[in-house]
């Protein structure tokens, strides 16, 4: 059976989540367009509920569970980032108890935000403990483990962002760019774009420091990074993609990796030009956009999906440690 989602899965997700998520705006920077000589649209998913596109997948996953099962007594997830908040928030909407497992090293502000949405936060020392808990949960009736990306309902939810974005653009774009963590966002984007804009390229972008998806695509099978990766694009730090997302990623039109200094460069510039507080994971794709535009011979219209805006103070310091605003973006 094909692992590839159908567009109707995304349409169903839209029905389920539309009363709970917001329609995020589409942004442009006229100066950036002028400097690059092309038109770049930015889909502002950092202005989504919980500050990230993850709200879409989380909401669809939990509503899907409630439709399918008579008893949903608890949802569980492991995350130190936006998925944690998305599951906590979405569970709260439907009065489903949520438990989020976070490493003890998580920043207090993230743990607190997750608790703020009404979830129970369990701090763990060792990831192996949580693997065991996940097994247990999956055998417990009424309890469900929600994967951050390798889940059809999560992917379908993320796909709604692309449906919305395509409707907001006056013309069909030439290419869509999105960051690759576990691949959920890109998988949903691919399914939405292939249906609504079959000639539009869909392009993935990953930090060079966490290039497991790139390595997997090169190898033709899933490869995991053996060491935890360090990147400012912490939303794309995932060490391994899933079987469902990998099947989608293999259909992408192109895939780029970006070194840390270029991720930081574009984070400063997009914060400055768009006046938006966006994560490095969101800005990273701009480096791929520039690489891709360099190969084009006519004026192009592209869309970059800004994935989120949850940044702790230590990361802000790291992102602004050196001045990147001296050199104007150009092709």
Q: Which residue lies nearer to a second copy by CB, 213 or 278?
A: 278
Contact 118, 91 (CB under 8 A): yes
Contact 200, 253 (CB under 8 A): no
In this structure, the strands spanning 26-27 and 39-44 are: antiparallel
> Which residues, in sequence order, are CB contacts of 275 under 8 Å at separation 6+?
none
Q: Which residue lies nearer to a second copy by CB, 70 or 323?
A: 323
Q: Which residue lies nearer to a second copy by CB, 168 or 215?
A: 168
Contact 310, 85 (CB under 8 A): yes
**From the CB of 110, what's the least distance to a second copy, in Å?**
10
DSSP state of 299: -
Closest CA to 188 of 168, 166, 165, 158: 158
| CA–CA dist 55, 124 (Å, integer) | 24
**From the CB of 95, what's the least distance to a second copy, in Å?**
18
Beta carbons within 10 angstroms of residue 40's beta carbon: 22
**From the CB of 263, what's the least distance to a second copy, in Å?**
15
**From the CB of 47, what's the least distance to a second copy, in Å?**
6
Q: Which residue lies nearer to a second copy by CB, 24 or 158?
A: 24
In this structure, the strands spanning 98-103 and 175-179 are: unpaired
**From the CB of 71, what's the least distance to a second copy, in Å?**
30
| Binding positions for a second copy, rule: CB under 8 A | 25, 31, 46-47, 51, 108-109, 112, 116, 268, 271-272, 274-278, 309-314, 316-317, 320-326, 328
User: What separation in angstroms does the CA of 106 have from each of 124, 237, 279?
Assistant: 10, 14, 17
**From the CB of 83, what's the least distance to a second copy, in Å?**
18
Beta carbons within 10 angstroms of residue 131's beta carbon: 10
Q: Which residue lies nearer to a second copy by CB, 326 or 330?
A: 326
Q: Which residue lies nearer to a second copy by CB, 168 or 201?
A: 168
**From the CB of 116, what's the least distance to a second copy, in Å?**
7
Q: Which residue lies nearer to a second copy by CB, 206 or 279?
A: 279
CA dihedral 158, 187, 208, 217 (to 10 degrees): 170
Contact 300, 174 (CB under 8 A): yes
């Amino acid at each position: 059976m094909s692992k590839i989602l159908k567009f109707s899965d995304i349409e169903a997700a839209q029905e389920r989540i539309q009363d709970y998520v917001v329609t995020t705006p589409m942004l442009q920077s006229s100066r950036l367009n002028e400097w690059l000589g092309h038109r770049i649209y930015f889909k502002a998913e950092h202005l989504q509920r919980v500050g990230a596109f993850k709200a879409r997948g989380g909401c669809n996953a939990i509503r899907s569970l409630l439709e399918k099962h008579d008893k949903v007594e608890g949802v569980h997830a492991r995350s130190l980032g936006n998925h944690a908040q998305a599951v906590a928030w979405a569970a709260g909407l439907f009065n489903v108890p949520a438990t989020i497992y976070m490493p003890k090293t998580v920043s207090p502000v993230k743990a607190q935000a997750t608790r703020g949405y009404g979830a129970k936060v369990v701090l763990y020392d060792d990831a192996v403990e949580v693997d065991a808990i996940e097994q247990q949960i999956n055998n417990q009736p009424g309890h469900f483990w929600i994967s951050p990306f390798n889940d059809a309902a999560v992917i379908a939810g993320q796909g709604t962002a692309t449906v919305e974005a395509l409707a907001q653009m006056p013309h069909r774009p030439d290419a869509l760019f999105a960051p690759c963590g576990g691949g959920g966002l890109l998988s949903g984007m691919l399914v939405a774009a292939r249906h609504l804009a079959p000639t539009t390229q869909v392009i993935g972008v990953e930090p060079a420091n966490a290039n497991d998806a790139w390595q997997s695509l090169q190898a033709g099978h899933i490869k995991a990074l053996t060491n935890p990766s360090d990147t400012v694009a912490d939303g794309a730090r995932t060490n391994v993609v899933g079987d469902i997302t990998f099947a989608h990623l293999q259909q992408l039109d192109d895939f780029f990796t970006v070194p840390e200094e270029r991720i930081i460069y574009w984070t400063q510039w997009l914060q400055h030009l768009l006046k938006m507080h966006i994560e490095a994971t969101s800005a990273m794709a701009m480096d791929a956009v520039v690489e891709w535009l360099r190969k084009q011979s006519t004026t192009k219209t592209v869309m970059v999906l800004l994935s989120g805006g949850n940044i702790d103070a230590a990361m802000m310091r790291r992102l602004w440690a050196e001045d990147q605003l001296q050199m104007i973006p150009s092709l």
